[in-house]
Structure 1
Amino acid sequence: MRKKILACLFSVPFSLSSLYASDAPRHYIMDETVVTATLTQTPLKNIPAAVEVIDSEEIEKSGAMTLHQVLTEAQSVNLEAVSGRQSTARLRGLSSNNTLVMIDGMRLPSGFQDKIDLSEIPAGWIERIEIVRGPASALYGSDAIGGVINVITRKPSEETEAWFSSRYGSNTEGEAEETSFDAGVSGRSGDVGYVITGSFGDKDRVDLDTSDGSTDTDDKNVKAGAATISWNVGEQTELSIGATYADVERQGLRFKNKKEQEWLNGSERYTGRIELRSDLGEDSSILLRAYRSVYDWGVTLTPTGNGAPEVHSVEQTTDQFEARWSGVLPGGHKVTTGIEYRTEDRAEDGLASEVENLGVFLQDEVAVTDRLSAILGLRFDDHSGFGSVCSPRVSAAYRVSDEMRIRGSYAEGFRAPSVFELYTGSEYTRKRILLPNPDLDPETSRTWEVGADFEHDWLALSVTAFRNDIDDMISEVFTGNYDGTIPINEARNISEAMTRGIELSGRVSLGSGFSIHDELTVLDGENKITGTGLPYLPEFSNVFKLAYHDPVQGFGGNVRVVTAGRQYTDAEASVKTDAYTLVNLSLSKSLTSRAEIYGGVDNLFDERVEDGYGNVYGPGSTGTFLYAGIGLNL
């Protein structure tokens, strides 16, 4: 089930919340809570932010195997293909480096080419995904200029429960064969709660042209698990420890150095945490947390004929310690404040470096009148690589009537240069050598946003207009050639950029179990130095869904039409991809209260999507894909 709410980031409780099941008309569940937009468990009705929530039920029925496949239908999320056949996410047209990706509120370290590959994060981990669109540096600091994608894993349940699901799929040519299994158990014994999940997935390669020395997709194997144990120390205090682990192996062919080469890639991602939560009173609570997140990546390229193998490796570790307090002060001020200390260590092909960051933030939500609410937010960060920066935010929402409100906000954000950009750089990867630059300054941003929401009975409409201005954008600059042919680039602060857009969404309940949903995003961007367009910025994207749900018979289904406009795929804005439209079908049937079967067809008309859209391993790269599965609650 997908829940959506459009509103103004960090204002106070006048949100026109709504929630709808993936195969059902939208209905209202006002007690549903999210954490990413405010750093506290907050009902959707009290969160005036552009937030989208995708839960495990919708993920299961979609047949998605990884996080990047789940995000292909999220509003204002554009996937970008990068070196190494990775898939990264861009929010509102900004670079993937300006999108903060977290698991349970904890940052993920980047890997090859300084990217977080979403195709390596298994769907079996996920209880739900919370996507906050728009700048969030006032709470999260660096990397959140475009927004935040927070993957939330399962938590211990009050009653003992177990589950199992399995799905199988293949394209119409018999390639891309996929098998996956997910299982878990959760419950509580006295003061101790627990949840343990595990998943396995295996997907075969696709090779449309066997003569070009490179497979179109790779054989892929994913083994993953997550666990949390909690202990009620007292009536108001909980201590918990948790971990997630994923092991991914991929194998295929690459054409490099004028040779066909066997490509073998392996990666491990691990996150471990310990945290203490305590209610100090009716309106006051604290959180203390420490965590470590490690990403270990390696690749071996071996010529299929004679020749020595080429080996590369990356390991990055993030350690963070944080303390947070939230409470209500006299005068109706809801205050959240905290302090964070983080270190990031990166070793790439034997070259190691480290950066440190100290952050302090304060957020105050206040009701100015019965109809007008506002919020002030400010964060200070001190970074060992470049110095200090402040990130303010102010927003307001005015309730015109019970059905309508208007909203607006202004925020500033930043992205700190990474260890990769400051100190390590990258060797030749087929395209170029990238030299690091220890004198880089942070990217900074200014964002304006206005919008309105209307909701009454069977109709809901939302519109948001935004503009992002980025200064000191970190770009690669050509400095010469190696061996006369291989470009040598250096990371420099040279670019100023602008992105702007309009987000429209609507829902119409047609009755008799039918509903229509549509989300349209129109984007525009410019490199303000050269006057050219920006890469990986689709002119528009749209997701249309016609859904049906019969709760009595336990039957549901939907037709989804996913469209993306043309976009540039190079920094010079000289090469444009073609637009595409994918038509996806999904059906589900409850056999009992504890068993359900589902199936579907992705890319019904066998559309071929160009690599620039980042649809790695998805139906756009594999062709028409059929799948079926079963879910059991034991």
Structure 2
Amino acid sequence: MQKCCLPAIAMLWLSTATALFAENIDRQEKPITVTATRTTQTANEALAAMTVISRKDIERQQARSIQDLLRGVPGVNIINNGGMGKATSINMRGTESDHVLVLIDGIKVGSATSGTTSFQNIPIDQIERIEIVRGPRSSLYGSEAIGGVIQIFTRKGGRGLKPNLSFGGGSYQTFNGSVGLSGGNGPGWFNLNASGMTTRGFNSCTGKPSPGGAGCFTNEQSDRDGYRNIAGSLRAGYRFENGLDIETNFLHSDGKTEFDGTFVNNSEIIQQVLGGTARYSPIDIWRISLTAGRSREDSDNFFRDALENTFKSRFNTQRDTVSLLNDIVFTQTQLLTLGFDYQNDQINSTEDFAITSRNNFGVFAQHQASLAAHDLQLSLRHDDNEQFGSRVTGGAAWGYALNERLRLTASFGSAYKAPTFNELYFPNFGNARLQPEESRSYELGANGQTDWGNWSLHVYETHIDDLIAFDASTRAPANIDQARIRGLEGVLNTQIKGWHLNANLTLLNPENNASGANNGNTLPRRAQESIRFDAHRAIGKFTLGGMLLVEGERYDDLANTRKLESYVKLDLRVEYAFNQSWRIQGRLENLFDKHYETAAFFNQPGRNFFATLRYQP
């Protein structure tokens, strides 16, 4: 598919959808969010570009993994190394995969050694909602939030005692199941959930020769590469008569994955998050929130041959965090937030790292104000890192409501990313002289609500300095790269003849500005165009739906010599409700059996089918 065709297709679809509209869309209540400002607000009040995915969305789309769910979301680019349970990374707005801050129930997660989060090992059956905020947020969260923030919330209880269960099976000898119990009565609530899945998978790697050697770091291995996961979560809360509100959360995920490799070909990964939050208002205008938690990511790596499974390496990381927020309401239209964050990272590995822990202290202030048709947000943060000293980041956002249905926004934000332990201290590779990567971003946006639906449009430009890349002259990472990223994101939601329609468009120009041979090249593994169409409609007891994903070409290497072709993928789904409690679902993925790659030599699922039986009163 030609690059020039993608924007034309998107514009044609958007204009056609608007022209065909013949009925008013139902007004839906806007979801309550907390990630964009670290304060409570509705999604339409946010001055940032954001997407909220609810539990209903997850089940309606019949998604079976986070990468499955987020593929095609505006500004989000998914890289997967060979199917379910394989290494999965996310680029947001064209930035690096370790430029995305990830939270689970308010607790910062991710590996301190690699700097990324193992999305493939977070079970989707445990998720209540996901908030995706696009654009820099270092002025509120500190390191990592250059491209944006993804916050995952585990399932939450409500009123009454309600069990739920699901069981499914399908292609690649894949089976999964979950069981849960939620409840609440008066001031207390809880949710307890457990899930498991297994798949034989498919051959994750083609193993075709590449200029630098064999693909996937190995010669072709035609065996299937399976995955299994067992997980559980607990989330509970209680509100006392004096107004004290407490909440605790726990998530544990144990996964084992197989892949193709010459030195390592299977791994066992444990992810665990334990946290708690207390909220209290000593006086009407002052609200205090204290959150503390610990996240772990343990990875044991092995090589299996015909005779035995040999242990090769261990990378265990632990992150302790404490956050204290003070929200002070001056007037009904002015809110001041004063915050303090503490973070301690520790690693325990079979590799001999010179330094195995570091601390970071951060303080920030944020002022949100509304005056007539204007909304303003100002934020400033100072971080004191044990290794890198002081870092100051700031943000400013402005919104102007032209009328009740149209609002314009503009924003600026600076951000930074501290180097990982691997980049600094990995034996015979790391560079202890590395400095944090830094960025500055500019954004203009518009969003509107009409009788036929709602829409938003955002354009932005991000400059990143001191990007860490491998320096061939020293054979170690160094702050030698620069990048300029320009992008456009468009969203349209409407309803036509009973069909609920959603269209997302992302156009991206991620340019390498480093000196040398790669100057002007496209940053690797970023699709430069992406269009996603979603549709669903209820017809009696049936619900029909589908998703069309169109992604443009990308390059797999910095030199732009290895191209990954564009592709079109169509998924269809159907649901039948026996009654209010029981329903059966089926999804046919990749209807046209399209072969595509998001990373060179790594296969993606072909045509496959999955059916699920659900019970939830």
8 Å contact from structure 1 (residues 437, 490) kept in 2? yes
2:19 alignment counterpart? none
> 1:82 touches 1:88 (CA, 8 Å); kept in 2?
no
Match in the other structure for 2:369: 366
Q: CA deviation at 1:209?
A: 8.7
Residue in 1 that maps onto 2:197? 201
Task: Classify 1:209/1:227 alpha carbon distance in 2 versus 1 (closer, same or farther; 3 Å).
Answer: closer
For residue 530 of structure 2, what is the aligned residue in structure 1?
A: 541
Deviation by residue 1:426-482 (Cα, 9 ceiling, x = unmatched): xxxxxxxx71111111111110000112221114332111000001111111247xx
Q: Give the counterpart letter for 1:118 in structure 2.
A: F
Match of 1:624 among 602, 607, 612: 607
Shift of 1:611: 4.4
- Partner of 1:243, secondary structure, is strand
Equivalent residues in 2 for 1:406-417, closer than 5 Å: 406-417=408-419
Cα deviation code 1:175-230 (max 9, x no counterpart): x2211111111113565432111111111121389995425762111000001233
The residue type equivalent to 1:514 in the other structure is: W
| Greater alpha carbon shift after TM alignment, 152-161 vs 123-132 | 152-161
Matched, 1:461 2:465: no
Counterpart pick for 1:521 among 506, 509, 516: 506
Distance in 1 separating the partners of 2:413 and 2:267:
40
Q: Distance in 2 between matches of 1:169 and 1:26?
A: 36
Once the two structures are TM-superposed, the CA of residue 255 in structure 1 deviates from its matched residue by 4.6
Paired amino acid for 1:597: I
State how far apart, in whole Å, the 2-side matches of 1:598 and 1:277 are: 40
Letter of the structure 2 residue corresponding to residue 146 of structure 1: G
SS at match of 2:59: helix
Match of 1:562 among 549, 556, 565: 549
Contiguous gaps of at least 5 residues in structure 2: 1-22, 208-218
User: Cα distance 1:571–1:494, how it changes in 2: closer, same or farther (>3 A)?
Assistant: same
**Which of the numbers 594, 598, 601 marks the counterpart of 2:588?**
601
Equivalent pair of 1:81/1:613 in contact (CA under 8 Å): no
C-alpha distance after superposition, 1:99-122 (max 9, x if no partner): 111111211121774432211111
* 8 Å contact from structure 2 (residues 81, 204) kept in 1: no
Q: Give the one of 262, 271, 276 matched to 1:256.
A: 262
Inter-partner Cα distance in structure 2 for 1:106 and 1:519: 29
**Match status 1:268 vs 2:270:** yes
Q: Is 1:474 paired with 2:468?
A: yes
Residue 222 of structure 1: aligned partner = 229
What root-mean-square deviation, in Å, do the aligned CA atoms of Structure 1 and Structure 2 show?
2.5
Cα distance change, pair 330–72 in 1 and its aligned pair in 2 (3 A): closer
Name the structure 2 match of 1:151.
Answer: 152
Distance verdict in 2 for CA 1:331–1:505, change over 3 Å: closer
- The equivalent of 1:381 in structure 2 is 383
Q: How does 1:155-166 map to 2 (within 5 A)?
A: 155-166=156-167
**Count of equivalent residues:** 576
Q: Single out whichever of 188-197 and 461-470 deviates more from structure 2.
A: 188-197
Distance 1:25 1:38, change over 3 A: farther
Tell me the residue number matched to 2:491.
Answer: 505
Alignment correspondent of 1:346: 347
Q: Distance in 1 between matches of 2:436 and 2:472?
A: 20
Q: Which amino acid aligns with 2:426?
A: T
- For 2:46, the aligned partner's letter is I
1:575 to 556, 562, 566: 562
Q: Classify 1:338/1:554 alpha carbon distance in 2 versus 1 (closer, same or farther; 3 Å).
A: farther
Unaligned runs of 5+ in 1: 1-23, 171-175, 426-433, 481-488
How many angstroms does 1:81 deviate by? Answer: 4.1
Cα–Cα, structure 1 residues 64 and 327, in superposed 2: closer, same or farther, change >3 Å? same
Query: For 1:304 and 1:179, how far apart are their aligned partners in 2?
Result: 26
Q: Relative to 1, partners in 2 of residues 1:148 and 1:334: Cα closer, same or farther, differing over 3 Å?
A: same
Q: 1:169 to 1:25 in 2, by over 3 A?
A: farther
Indicate how the Cα distance of structure 1 residues 613 and 336 shifts in structure 2: closer, same or farther if over 3 A, else same: farther
Aligned to 1:185: 181
Superposed displacement of residue 80, structure 1: 2.2
Residue 568 of structure 1 deviates from its aligned partner by 1.2
Amino acid at match of 1:577: L
Partner AA of 1:256 in structure 2: T
Cα distance between partner residues in 2 of 1:107 and 1:26 = 38
Distance 1:526 1:158, change over 3 A: same
| Alpha carbons of structure 1 residues 360 and 510: separation in structure 2 relative to 1, 3 Å | same
Contact 1:110 1:295 in 2 (8 A): yes
Equivalent residues of 1:65, 1:201 under 8 A apart: no
How many Å apart are 1:31 and its aligned residue?
5.3
The 3-state SS of whatever aligns with 1:139 is helix
Secondary structure of 1:422's counterpart equals helix
> Secondary structure of the equivalent of 1:543?
strand
* Other structure's SS at 1:438 match: coil
Query: What is the TM-score of this pair, normalised by structure 1?
Result: 0.86
Which segment drifts farther, 323-332 or 288-297?
Answer: 323-332
Letter in 2 for 1:435: F
The letter for the 1-side match of 2:117 is I
Alignment-derived partner of residue 4 in structure 2: none
- State the alpha-carbon separation in 2 of the partners of residues 95 and 101 from structure 1: 14
What's the CA shift string for 1:404-429, capped at 9, x where partnerless? Answer: 1211111111111122222236xxxx
Q: Offset at 1:351? A: 2.5
> For 2:202, what is the secondary structure of its paired residue?
coil
* Whole-angstrom distance in 2 between the partners of 1:202 and 1:135: 37
Q: TM-score when scaled to structure 2?
A: 0.88
How far 1:60 sits from its partner (Å)?
2.6
Rounded Cα–Cα distance in structure 1 between residues aligned with 2:433 and 2:138: 22
- In structure 2, relative to structure 1, the CA distance for the partners of 1:449 and 1:271 (3 Å cut) is same
Distance 1:315-1:255 versus aligned 2 partners, 3 A rule: closer
SS in structure 2 opposite 1:621?
coil
Structure 1 residues 436 and 82: alpha-carbon distance in aligned structure 2, compared to 1, 3 A threshold = farther
Q: Secondary structure at the match of 2:556?
A: coil
| Structure 1 counterpart of 2:300 | 298
Counterparts in 2 of 1:321 and 1:546: CA distance versus 1, 3 Å = closer
With over 3 angstroms needed to count, the CA separation of the structure-2 counterparts of 1:116 and 1:214, relative to structure 1, is farther
Provide the C-alpha distance between the structure 1 equivalents of 2:47 and 2:124, rounded to a whole number of angstroms. Answer: 28
Deviates further, 600-609 or 155-164? 155-164
Range with bigger deviation, 349-358 or 406-415: 349-358
Partners of 1:516 and 1:188 in 2: CA distance: 35
CA 1:534–1:594 in structure 2 vs 1: closer, same or farther (change >3 Å)?
A: same
- Identity percentage of aligned residues: 26
The aligned counterpart of 2:28 is 29
For 2:579, which of 559, 583, 592 is the aligned residue? 592
Is residue 355–residue 419 contact of structure 1 (8 Å, CA) maintained in 2?
A: no
CA distance in 1, matches of 2:554, 2:223: 21
Q: Please, which moves more after superposition, 206-215 or 533-542?
A: 206-215
1:91-102 mapped onto 2 (5 Å cutoff) = 91-102=92-103
Residue 63 of structure 1 and its aligned partner are, at CA, apart by 3.5
Q: Secondary structure at the match of 2:44?
A: helix
Q: How far apart, CA to CA, are the structure 1 residues paired with 2:325 and 2:204?
A: 52
Given residue 398 of structure 1, which amino acid in structure 2 is its aligned partner?
Y
Q: What's the CA shift string for 1:79-107, capped at 9, x where partnerless? A: 12469941111111111110111111211
